[in-house]
């Protein structure tokens, strides 16, 4: 019997992947490790989006940023380029009617590395120098993209669009984690923040043996940065597959 597959994405983004995992004949278990919530004050986001018509580019750091922003966008200004990090974000844009036929979309040249570093390498930074760029992001996150653009002479503004939080350790969640860690699983981890939260939740249960069992679990991760986080936390059974659901599924099939 193949190992269960634990999908740790936020709940709203997990369903389609779970269906594809089940289509491979694998058991899919949903364990969202990040709760995504709208910000109480939508004023700054609305104001930033109202001014995006003067921007050369708007960069979205995640599908969550896209969904939060497009709740306030009726028509996309066609002269403004969109920048995204991966296939999940392109799919989110498609849900809002934005694709290569309706707008100019740029993403990392190497689709296996959907991160800020690769996006910066892909962008024509010289052409953006002196122009305005808006970055739509979570309430917290890395500053690498903004810093890299500013270093190239770009006028950068950032605006938070949503909040990410690790769920609290309830009795039900503790029991679910205990049950999952009694067997070997393939864990799909698509966020360093989620992985740190998972390890912290297991530690909070207060059973050192569970921490050891967590460290023995197999992780499938799309980014080298997440793999580095995992190694730092003592999780060494890793498959680094590259960005996109297609690569995640291929990694699962290779373990069948």
Mean pLDDT by 10 residues, the chain (256 residues): 87 89 94 93 96 96 93 95 89 93 90 77 94 93 88 96 94 97 95 94 96 96 90 94 86 83
Q: What is the pLDDT of residue 70?
A: 96
Sheet holding 81-83, edge to edge: 35-38, 155-165, 132-138, 57-60, 81-83, 105-106
Instruction: Give strand pairing partners of 105.
Output: 82
Task: Read off the DSSP letter of residue 169.
Answer: -
pTM: 0.83
89-102 pLDDT tens trace: 888 999 999 999 99
């Amino acid at each position: 019997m193949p190992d269960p597959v634990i999908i740790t994405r936020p709940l709203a983004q997990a369903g389609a992947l779970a269906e594809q995992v089940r289509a491979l004949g694998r058991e899919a278990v949903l364990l969202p490790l990040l709760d995504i919530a709208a910000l109480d004050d939508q004023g700054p986001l609305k104001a930033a989006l109202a001014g995006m018509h003067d921007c050369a580019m708007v960069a979205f750091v995640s599908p969550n940023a896209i969904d939060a922003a497009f709740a306030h966008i009726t028509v996309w200004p066609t002269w403004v380029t969109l920048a995204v990090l991966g296939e999940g974000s392109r799919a989110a844009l498609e849900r809002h009617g934005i694709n290569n036929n309706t707008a100019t979309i740029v993403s990392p040249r190497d689709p296996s590395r959907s991160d800020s570093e690769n996006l910066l390498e892909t962008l024509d930074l010289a052409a953006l120098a002196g122009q305005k760029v808006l970055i739509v992001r979570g309430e917290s996150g890395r500053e690498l993209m903004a810093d890299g653009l500013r270093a190239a002479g770009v006028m950068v503004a950032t605006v938070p669009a949503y909040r990410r939080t690790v769920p609290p350790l309830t009795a039900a969640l503790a029991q679910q984690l205990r049950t999952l860690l009694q067997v070997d699983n393939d864990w799909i981890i698509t966020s360093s923040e989620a992985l740190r939260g998972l390890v912290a939740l297991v530690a909070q249960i207060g059973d050192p043996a569970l921490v050891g069992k967590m460290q023995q679990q197999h992780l499938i991760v799309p980014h080298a940065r997440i793999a580095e986080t995992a190694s730092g936390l003592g999780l060494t059974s890793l498959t680094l597959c590259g960005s996109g659901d297609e690569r995640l599924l291929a990694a699962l099939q290779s373990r069948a």
